[in-house]
Amino acid sequence: MNDQVQTIDYNDLSLTSQERNKVLRNTYWLLALTMLPTVLGAWFGIYTGLSYALSGGLGLIVFMAGAFGFVYAIEKTKESSTGIFVLLGFTFFMGLMLSRLIAMVLGFKNGTELVMIAFGGTAGVFFLMASLASVIKRDLTNMGKWLFVGAIVLMVGSIINVFVGSSVGMMAISMLAIGIFSAYMLYDIKQIIDGGETNYISATLALYMDLINVFQSLLVLLGLMGGERE
């Protein structure tokens, strides 16, 4: 989950406009690069059948342990080139964790189409939030506090629903996640533009988690509402 909340002092920004643009540019390039190991991880999970083993409580434990472990390692190495490789390793892991959901959706008659729609929808949300962040002038720092609370509530609800297994609950959680993490994209990009985030590896990690959560939630909704059985 995305839980970075930072405060911006507009009277004492440490980076010049050129330096902030460099951080933003490096973030976008690295974010594009993270898609490669993500796709590879998803393919590996589906091809080996490992995706079906990562279900229920076991999948949740593996995800929580792996995600928090990788995030901790990324934050520890973000000031060096090692952080890039750790981040790419994390994105492979996330692709592996997504493979079970993707495999389930691909099991529908129109599965490939649903995956492409989810991908296109996620890209559309990203470009919209990036465009808004570039034109909004107000300080969005306080927005991060509310988004963090929303993310915690969402995480708790998701854990509960893993054991309850409610389709209605999953749809509600997915719609809420799309709203929260779309807003997080806006917030995180604005942080970079305003100089609140100065490390492009940390910035990439935040935006990557936003994208993955929106994509996953769109895929769940599309599968539940538009999946066609063979």
Q: 229 to each of 107, 166, 183, how far by Cα in Å?
A: 8, 20, 33
Task: Please count the other Cβ atoms lying within 10 Å of the Cβ belonging to residue 110.
Answer: 16
Residue 9 lies in a domain: no
138-165 pLDDT, tens digit per residue, is: 888 888 888 999 889 988 888 787 777 7
pTM as predicted: 0.86
In a domain, 7, yes or no: no
C-alpha span between 43 and 111 (Å, rounded) = 15
Q: How far apart are CA 148 and CA 131, in angstroms?
A: 22
**What is the spatial distance between Cα 10 and Cα 16, in angstroms, rounded to a whole number?**
12
CA dihedral for 161, 163, 164, 167, sign (positive or negative): positive
Range of the domain at 66: 17-226
What's residue 50's pLDDT? Answer: 77
**pLDDT recorded at residue 26:** 94
The residues, any chain, with a CB within 8 Å of residue 86's CB and separated by 6 or more, are 70, 73, 74, 77
**Does residue 10 lie in a domain region?**
no
Q: How far is CA 130 from its chain centroid? A: 15
Q: How far apart are CA 119 and CA 219, in angstroms?
A: 8
- Residue-level pLDDT at 8: 42
186-222: buried (b, 16+ CB within 10 Å) or exposed (e) per residue? bbbbbbbbbbbbbbbbbbbbbbbbbbbbbbbbbbbbb
Whether residue 216 lies inside any domain: the answer is yes
Please give the sequence-ordered ranges of beta strands (E in DSSP) within 62-182, or none if there are none: none
In whole angstroms, what is the distance from residue 42 CA to residue 141 CA?
Answer: 34
222: Cβ–Cβ under 8 A, 6 or more apart, which residues? 105, 114, 117, 118
Question: Using an 8 Å Cβ cutoff, are 192 and 206 in contact?
Answer: no
- Per-chain mean pLDDT for the chain: 86
4 within a domain of the structure (yes/no): no
Q: Report yes or no on 27 lying in a domain.
A: yes
Which parts of the chain have pLDDT scores under 70?
A: 1-15, 51, 54-57, 227-228, 230
Total number of domains constituting the chain: 1
Provide the b/e sequence for 43-72 (b: ≥16 CB within 10 Å): ebbbeeeebeebeeeebeeeeeeebeebbe
67 occurs within a structural domain: yes
In a domain, 104, yes or no: yes
What is the per-residue pLDDT for 228?
Answer: 64
